Amino acid sequence: MLEVKNLCKTYRRNEALTDANIRFEENKIYGLLGRNGAGKTTLLDCITGRIFPTSGESLLDGEPTIENDAALSQIYLMAEQTLFPESMRVADVMKWTKNFYPSFDMQYAQTISKEFGLDPRRKVKELSTGYSSILKCVVSLSVNTKYVIFDEPVLGLDANHRELFYTLLLKKYAETPFTAIISTHLIDEVANLIEDVIIIDNGHVMTQQPCEELLASGYSVSGKAADVDAFIQGRNVLSADQIGGLKTACIMEKPDRSQIPPELEISKLDLQKLFVQMTNTKESV
């Protein structure tokens, strides 16, 4: 298990991360969600020792991860920033990754590179934003460490490539389970892939729970504005949107079918909507 305890990171006057307590179990797909600047990347950088936390600890099976080669060999972080040398060719990037991570599957990497259309002879600096991401996706899908962290993996990828990435990720996970941590602000896309969700807002971990549980904690009703208003009276309403006469409200209670009038349509909470509501409230303060 990869665990983060009371992790804090403060830059001069800015508390980028406050008291983060998170557990990443083996063989699960986690979604790490947060707005831009919420602290996701800071958290991931602290776990892997790319930056040093101000306080708190990051542990892999009880051992600190920072400056620990053995622990780091089990965690692969694919960051937004490309750290590969600019003049290195794609094929060499993979060769060296294999040297550092013996579990790297070169054949698989070559196969999926072809699927993505990634040219192994290209130099890193010659790759477009999209293909830079693709290179990183290919490497992180092939590395086969126990924990693979994808920080904004599909930045700059077109729709086809995004779908290919998710398909490959799910296939790999289904065949050889590992722990995947996907940090992203493209919530809609990952909503059905992830098992557990961790939401970070303003440096604070707002929640960590199974996605299903979070979404089951409420429901959404829509219908004529008047009907909806009548229904939501006295209930724990998270949000309400209205377009013309049609209103949709999110209610944070367990749905009781019998209570819901037939003129209202009930549906599942939408992760993205829920996320937006949860993280908007801070701003309006």
Partner 1 sequence: MNFSTAAKYQFHDGKKSLIVFGIVMASLLVIFIAICLIVMVWIDVPGSSVDLGEATDVDIWQYMQFLEVTSVIFLAVFGMCSYKENFLMMTQNGVSRKTIFLSRAAVFGEAAALVFAGCVVFYYLTMIVLKIISSINGEKYLFRLAFWQPGTNPISSSLEMIIVFIAVMFVGYFITVLFYRMNKAGKIAVPIALLILLNTVPIVDSMLNDGRILTIAGNIISWAASTPINGIIFDLIIIAVFGCASWLIMRRAPVKRVN
Partner 2 sequence: MKINYESEKPIFMQLAEEIENAVISGAFPEGEQIPSITELSATLKINPATANKGVNMLVDAGIVYKKRGLGMFVQEGAVKMLTEKKKNEFIEEHITALVDEAKKLGLTKADVLSIIEKQFDK
Binding site for partner 1 (CB under 8 A): 41, 45, 48-52, 67-69, 72-73, 75-77, 79-81, 83-86, 88, 96-97, 99-101
Main-chain dihedrals φ then ψ at residue 275, nearest 5 degrees: -60, -50
Report in angstroms how near the CB of residue 91 gets to partner 1 at its nearest.
Answer: 14
Write down how long the chain is.
285
As a whole number of angstroms, the distance between CA 111 and CA 161 comes to 15
Helix (H, G, I), strand (E, B) or coil at 50: coil
The site partner of 267 among partner 1, partner 2, none (C-beta below 5 to 8 Å per kind) is partner 2
Binding interface with partner 2 (CB under 8 A)? 28-29, 163, 166-168, 170-171, 173-175, 191-195, 212, 219, 255, 266-268, 270
Q: Is the dihedral of CA 273, 193, 265, 216 positive or negative?
A: negative
The strand pairing partners of 240, in sequence order, are: 249
- Which CB sits closer to partner 1, 65 or 248? 65
The site partner of 99 among partner 1, partner 2, none (C-beta below 5 to 8 Å per kind) is partner 1
Report in angstroms how near the CB of residue 270 gets to partner 1 at its nearest.
Answer: 29
- Which CB sits closer to partner 2, 72 or 181? 181
Helix (H, G, I), strand (E, B) or coil at 200: strand
The answer to whether 234 touches 243, Cβ cutoff 8 Å, is no
Report in angstroms how near the CB of residue 53 gets to partner 1 at its nearest.
Answer: 11
The site partner of 175 among partner 1, partner 2, none (C-beta below 5 to 8 Å per kind) is partner 2
Report in angstroms how near the CB of residue 268 gets to partner 2 at its nearest.
Answer: 5
Helix (H, G, I), strand (E, B) or coil at 42: helix
The answer to whether 93 touches 139, Cβ cutoff 8 Å, is yes
Report in angstroms how near the CB of residue 146 gets to partner 1 at its nearest.
Answer: 12
- Which CB sits closer to partner 1, 101 or 108? 101
7 Ramachandran zone, left/alpha/beta (phi>0; psi -120 to 50): beta
Q: Give Cβ neighbours of residue 216 (< 8 Å, ≥ 6 apart).
A: 254, 269
- Which CB sits closer to partner 1, 88 or 170? 88
Report in angstroms how near the CB of residue 168 gets to partner 2 at its nearest.
Answer: 8
